[in-house]
Amino acid sequence: MPPIISRGFRGRNRDDAPSDRVPPGQYVTRDFPVLSAGPTQHTPLDQWDFTIVGEVDEPNRWTWEELRALPSEEVTVDIHCVTKWTKLDTVWEGVSIDTLLDGIETSAEYVVQFSDGGYTTNLPLEDLTGGKAWLALGYGGETLEPEHGGPARMLVPHLYFWKSAKWVRGLRLVATDEPGFWETNGYNNYGDPWREQRYSGD
Ligand SMILES: Nc1nc2c(c(=O)[nH]1)N[C@H]1C(S)=C(S)[C@@H](COP(=O)(O)O)O[C@H]1N2
Ligand SMILES: [Mo]
pLDDT in tens, 142-195: 999 999 999 999 999 999 999 999 999 999 999 999 999 999 999 999 999 999
- The reported pLDDT for the residue numbered 18 is 83
Give burial (CB, 10 Å; 0-12/13-18/19+) of 190: middle
Residue 67, in any domain of the structure: yes
- Distance (Å, whole) CA 194 – CA 202: 12
Residue 151, in any domain of the structure: yes
Residue 26, in any domain of the structure: no
Please list, residue by residue across 144-158, b when 16 or more beta carbons sit within 10 angstroms of its beta carbon and e when fewer do: beeebbbbbbbbbbb
pLDDT tens sequence across 22-54: 999 999 999 999 999 999 999 999 999 999 999
Residue 170, in any domain of the structure: yes
- Strand, coil or helix: 111: strand
- The reported pLDDT for the residue numbered 72 is 98
- The reported pLDDT for the residue numbered 39 is 98
Would the pLDDT of 1 be above 80? no
Looking at the CA of 140, name the nearest ligand: 1
Residue 22, in any domain of the structure: no
Residue 17, in any domain of the structure: no
Domain that holds residue 141: 45-75+87-195
The total of structural domains in the chain comes to 1
CA of 171 to the centre of ligand 2 (A): 20
- The reported pLDDT for the residue numbered 17 is 76
pLDDT tens sequence across 86-132: 999 999 999 999 999 999 999 999 999 999 999 999 999 999 999 99
pLDDT tens sequence across 64-75: 999 999 999 999
- Distance (Å, whole) CA 23 – CA 158: 11
Residue 36, in any domain of the structure: no
Q: To the nearest whole number, what is the mean pLDDT of the chain?
A: 94
Q: Give nearest CA residue, ligand 1 atom 22.
A: 162
Q: What CATH number should be reported for the domain holding residue 173?
A: 3.90.420.10
| From 35, 156, 169, 171, mutation site for ligand 1 pocket: most ligand atoms within 8 A of C-beta | 35
Q: 76: Cβ–Cβ under 8 A, 6 or more apart, which residues?
A: 89, 90, 91, 92
Mean pLDDT confidence for 52-57: 97
pTM of the model: 0.93
Residue 30, in any domain of the structure: no
